[in-house]
Amino acid sequence: MTAALIAALRAAVGGGGLITSAEAAAGYAHDMMPLAPHGRPLAVVLPASAAQVQACVRACAAAGVPIVPRGAGTGLTGAANAVDGCVVLVTTRMNRIVELDADNRLAVVEPGVVNQDLKTAAAARGLFYPPDPSSLDSCTLGGNLATNAGGLCCGKYGVTGDYVLGLEAVLADGSLLRTGRRTVKGVAGYDLTRLLVGSEGTLGIITQATLALRPLPAAPGTVIAAFDSVAQAGASVNRVVRAGLVPSLMEIMDATSLRASSAYLGTDLAGEGEQALLLCRSDAAGAAREAELEALERLFREAGAVYTHATADAAEGALLLRARRVSLAALEARGACMTEDVAVPRTRIAELIEGCARIGDDAGLTVAVVGHAGDGNMHPTILYDRSSTDQYARARTAFDAILALALSLGGTITGEHGVGRLKQDWLERELGPVGVRVHRALKDALDPGGLFNPGGMLVRRAPGIHRDR
């Protein structure tokens, strides 16, 4: 059976699109989250078209072999991790921008297009694709769609799903489903597009997407504000919201992450005793941008900021923003990290950050927090010694405690990274029994054999999956 399946896959994608070497296939077995369980794939296929994806799915279905879809592997929950004996289907060769329609402000793309490449192509036509995960220069749109990824500008512009007009996806029987539309409005039938976005490869394999674009905004101005306490920074966020201001970006960094980024970049962003930094941008046009920056700076000073600075200089603004974008890499330079992804109401951000500090103290570990203050999506990161079994166990306990804290504050266990293979139990707590039942019914309806990404989301782990540190 294995030989027949390998032959069918080779016929589907050609020799150059098939990897059967165990050593080579291991590079596709997991994403960037070291905690998530993963197995050993039987093979890896890299199709170059929807027809090739269909052929691979049909071959696997006939053999009863599971398929795990994968993009660039930049995920942080193990959502694209292999199970033993599966076929990993990698979409990075499907990397064409099929159409960029400036008049209708839309793009038709394949799943292997890198996020930044679409942004660049759209900008050349005076258009803007807003979703901007921190890995935008390497992550692919297929992965963004599968996890409903967000980014730094979500507070103003929303997440990936807000820009999806329609999809093309291969279902478990190999048929090709087309959902959605190209029109601005359209409400015919069930919203199957929204169902597939964020489904983490458990319901279908996305082979094409029609995405809405926006007019290219003005060059942004930037303002930063440093605070002696996290509470003051949280109060500032509330003041911004109450004032009706909607900056294109509003990020928060605690003292640990701020100092890590400063050391990583060789800058002096972190002042003595500063406990939190807010970084905001305005992409309003002309005088409106200056007015918004002035209003933000005034609100921060009124909330007790010990330092504020505004700039319209693009290079300086980019440097300030880079300190936020490199925060995870800066923390990883200090040791192993467990990165969380929770979201809370914006009024509870300070409570979350302060609670994470207490959780870190209880575990005897450092917990750094950065996040998107504009929408309450926070990324607590637990630092631990990878070689210490005891620290690993304490870090896992802290990881779960942070999820519990987020839910207790009226939040959610994930704002943009997804559920993957880390948070199934917590998702069941958040959804409740009726929500779980509906999720399972949808999975059974679209993938009755359970071959798409077994072990992901709410699906029970396949017997072959093992945890790997």
* Per-residue pLDDT tens digits of the chain, which is 469 residues long: 699 999 999 999 999 999 999 999 999 999 988 778 899 999 999 999 999 999 999 999 999 999 999 999 999 899 999 999 999 999 999 999 999 999 999 999 999 999 999 999 999 999 999 999 989 999 999 999 999 999 999 999 999 999 999 999 999 999 999 999 999 999 999 999 999 999 999 999 999 999 999 999 999 999 999 999 999 999 999 999 999 999 999 999 999 999 999 999 988 776 677 899 999 999 999 999 999 999 999 999 999 999 999 999 999 999 899 999 899 899 989 888 888 899 999 999 999 999 999 999 999 999 999 999 999 999 999 999 989 999 999 999 999 999 999 999 999 999 999 999 989 999 999 999 999 999 999 999 999 999 999 988 875 544 333 333 3
Q: How far is CA 145 from CA 100, 198, 215, 326, 342, in A?
A: 18, 6, 21, 23, 19
First-to-last alpha carbon distance for the chain, in angstroms, is: 32
Q: Cα(225)–Cα(37) distance, rounded to whole angstroms?
A: 40
Do residues 54 and 70 both lie within one domain? yes
Residue 39 lies in a domain: yes
Residue 320 lies in a domain: yes
Q: Taking Cα atoms as reference points, which of 13, 55, 101, 34 lies closest to residue 420?
A: 34
Number of domains in the chain: 3
Angle in degrees, 0-180, between the axes of helices 389-408 and 424-446, rounded to the nearest 10: 70
Q: Which of 68, 92, 116 is the last residue of a domain?
A: 92
Pairing of strands 164-170, 176-180: antiparallel
The answer to whether the beta carbons of residues 348 and 376 sit under 8 Å apart is: yes
The answer to whether the beta carbons of residues 276 and 236 sit under 8 Å apart is: no
Residue holding tokens 């707590």? 429
Do residues 157 and 187 both lie within one domain? yes
Q: Which amino acid is at 20?
A: T
Q: Which amino acid is at 351?
A: E
Do residues 128 and 143 both lie within one domain? yes
Q: What is the DSSP letter of 347?
A: G
Q: Which of 307, 325, 343 is the last residue of a domain?
A: 325
Residue holding tokens 């704002």? 415
Q: Cα(132)–Cα(422) distance, rounded to whole angstroms?
A: 23
Q: Which of 282, 298, 325 is the last residue of a domain?
A: 325
Q: Cα(148)–Cα(457) distance, rounded to whole angstroms?
A: 13
Domain residues for the domain of 114 are 97-215
Angle in degrees, 0-180, between the axes of helices 255-265 and 314-325, rounded to the nearest 10: 120
| Partners of 279 in beta bridges | 224, 251
Do residues 64 and 132 both lie within one domain? no
Q: What is the CATH number of the domain that holds 194?
A: 3.30.465.10
